[in-house]
Structure 1
Amino acid sequence: MKKKAKLQRWGIGEYIWFIILVILAILIIYPMFWIIMSSFKDYNGIFKDVWGLPKEWLFENYKLAWEKGISNYFVNSLIVSVGTIIGVVLISTFAAFGICQMKSRFANLCFLLIMGGLLLSPQVCLLPLYMLLKNLGLKDTYFALILPYIAFRLPVSVMLIRSFFISIPKELEESAIIDGATFFQIYKKIYLPLSKPIISTVIIMTAYYSWNEFIFATMFIDSSEKQTIPVGLMVFSDGLMTNWGVVMAGMVIACLPIAILFIFMQKSFIRGMTAGSIKG
């Protein structure tokens, strides 16, 4: 019989890191747990029994939150986020593929110019963007948010996708060219299928940004019918000054899409972040 492998004993360093991770997990998980529990309480339940579980589970808080306006903010954020994700994925993959194919100083110059976008702060560009969108007649439309969101997410997305594209074996591309494939067919049939992990990473990062962005959503949207979740929650909480259970329910609804997206795509997200950060 084979000898059983000895269990590796933890040293002091491992115990210290374990304790730190447990503390961080509690600091992250407990506020989420408290918000979820509070969303099922009424006003007295929240303030008179802060740490306790709901004595009566008020599921109607979620129905009331949805009817009071969260549904409208939710749909607006969904439209803006989906439009931003589609734009970022299409443009960044095309740009990264083109830069990888050119193999010249001009390609390096284009890449450096795109990376220059990382130096721009959204707050610095706020006034010029406001005037530009107003002159173009795009202010108070979904495009007033989608276009700036795409612009500010492109640099980091192109950087990650280009790093992943460089790691794809050139033999695959050369074989496809010999078989008569065009560059678009190579992009569609080889690069995109192999790049699902990094594209998943870009999708999650873009969705998180566009779903939670507040400054542009405040400045570029005037009508309440087109307000997104971050601005809508502020208006929503002001309109329900004492009904905090319903407010908490609205917050839970607002957090659900990103949480569900990350749960379903977390493996690809981690693989994509690892590949995109160490290759190229």
Structure 2
Amino acid sequence: MTLTMNPKGRPSAARALPPARDPWRRTGGAAVRGRTGVLPRVLAYCGLAALAVAVLYPLCWMALSGLKSNGELFTAPWSLPAHPRWDNYADAWNQGTLRYLLNSALVTSASVLAVVLISAWAAYGLTRLDIPLARPALLLVLGGMMLSPTVALVPLAQLLQALHIYDTYWALIVLYTAFKVPFTTFLIRAYLLSLPSEVEEAAHLDGASRWQTFWQVVVPMSRPILVSAAMLQTLFCWNEYAFALVFVTDDRLKTLPVGLADMAGRLNSDWPILFAGLTIAALPMIIVFLLGQRHFIRGLAEGVGK
């Protein structure tokens, strides 16, 4: 601040002008920052590219190995098939892969539907309803995450035999649902806690019932976390081996993991057909995750992240 004389002879305050900015310095600083930011981006892209290769290469190798002969697979395991044998995929399909695929699809679809519905209802009740003993009920649900499926194989076998559902589809559906409801309830509850309750209150003021509010307001707003929960349950059911091995003995009811293991014994080390069957088994999961990856990432980020 400096003092100057106005036309009447009185001192007046005048602001000091800011120093002129150097355009070369401004552009030079941006250039320096740009150069320093290039290296982290390059390293990040290289890391992502390496991760993509590590994930995709085994899948591609498995699919290409299903097109080779047994001798070619062992003599040139890393080369492309000289003469692709598409009959291997047809043989794997006819060896029982179709039946195992349908069994896995049935069990997985039923358990996913049951887990998502039960967990969504439970999470809604624990977060939006004033129910007695809500805190002990939440602790009881979370305590179910501590149960080990492997330790409970013997009592579960006795229980399923007493319920007359041993060696049926229902044995796997009930177990897959029971062991995943606690975790899925915890997942959906964390997401519902982050949702504003004003929209539901407005629906109540408009005359909507609790049932209508749940289906028409809460479920559409919770679509990302519901898709994430469904995809996690799908991955678990599709790859589960212990329950499918112990509680289902009928060959017509076996799921893909157990069925492919049995098929490997029947094929007498015909590895290309086995790789073809593994490729067929992996395709549904790849398609599911490609279709739902946007909701899956958003649901986990907004649910567990909060």
TM bin, normalised by shorter chain, reads: over 0.9
Question: C-alpha distance in 2, partners of 1:9/1:139?
Answer: 64
The alpha carbon displacement at 1:146 in A equals: 0.6
Q: Deviation per CA, 1:51-71, whole angstroms, max 9, x where unpaired?
A: 100111111211111111001
| Matched AA of 1:30 | Y
**Is contact 2:125–2:131 with CA below 8 Å preserved after alignment?**
no
Q: Is residue 2:259 matched to residue 1:237?
A: no
CA displacement 1:99-145 (0-9 Å, x = unmatched):
11234661122111100011111111111111100111110000110
Instruction: Report how far residue 230 of structure 1 moved.
Output: 0.4
In structure 2, what is the equivalent of residue 161 of structure 1? 188
Query: Which residues of structure 1 form unaligned runs of 5+?
Result: none
TM-score if structure 1 supplies the norm length?
0.93
The alignment-based identity, stated in percent, is: 36
Query: Which structure 2 residues correspond to residues 46-61 of structure 1 after superposition, within 5 A?
Result: 46-61=73-88
Question: TM (normalized to structure 2)?
Answer: 0.85
Q: Work out which of the residue numbers 175, 181, 194 in structure 1 matches 2:208.
A: 181
Aligned match for 1:252, one of 279, 301, 306: 279
Q: Are 1:170 and 2:197 an aligned pair?
A: yes
SS in 1 for 2:150: coil
Q: Distance in 2 between matches of 1:275 and 1:143?
A: 34
The residue that corresponds to 1:88 in the other structure is 115
Distance in 2 (alpha carbons) for counterparts of 1:26 and 1:105: 53
SS of corresponding position for 1:77: helix
Amino acid at match of 1:87: A
- In 1, the alpha carbon distance for the partners of 2:117 and 2:230 equals 11
User: Which sits farther off after the overlay, 232-241 or 103-112?
Assistant: 103-112
Runs of at least 5 residues in structure 2 that lack an aligned partner in the other structure: 1-26
Tell me which moved more, 30-39 or 76-85: 30-39
| Residue range with higher mean Cα deviation, 117-126 or 13-22 | 13-22
- SS for the counterpart of 2:133 is helix
SS at match of 1:278: coil
**Pairs aligned (count):** 277
Cα deviation for residue 9 of structure 1 reads: 3.1
1:210 corresponds, among 237, 254, 257, to 237
Is the Cα contact below 8 Å between 2:104 and 2:256 reproduced in 1?
yes
| CA drift at 1:86 | 0.6
- Residues 214-248 of structure 1: CA deviation (Å, up to 9, x unaligned): 00000000110000000001001111123211110
Query: 169, 172, 178: which one pairs with 1:145?
Result: 172
Higher relative contact order (CA 8 A, sep 6+): 1
Distance 1:163 1:99 in 2: 11
Residues of 1 paired with 2:37 and 2:268: CA distance? 51
Aligned letter for 1:64? D
What is the aligned-residue RMSD (CA, Å)?
2.0
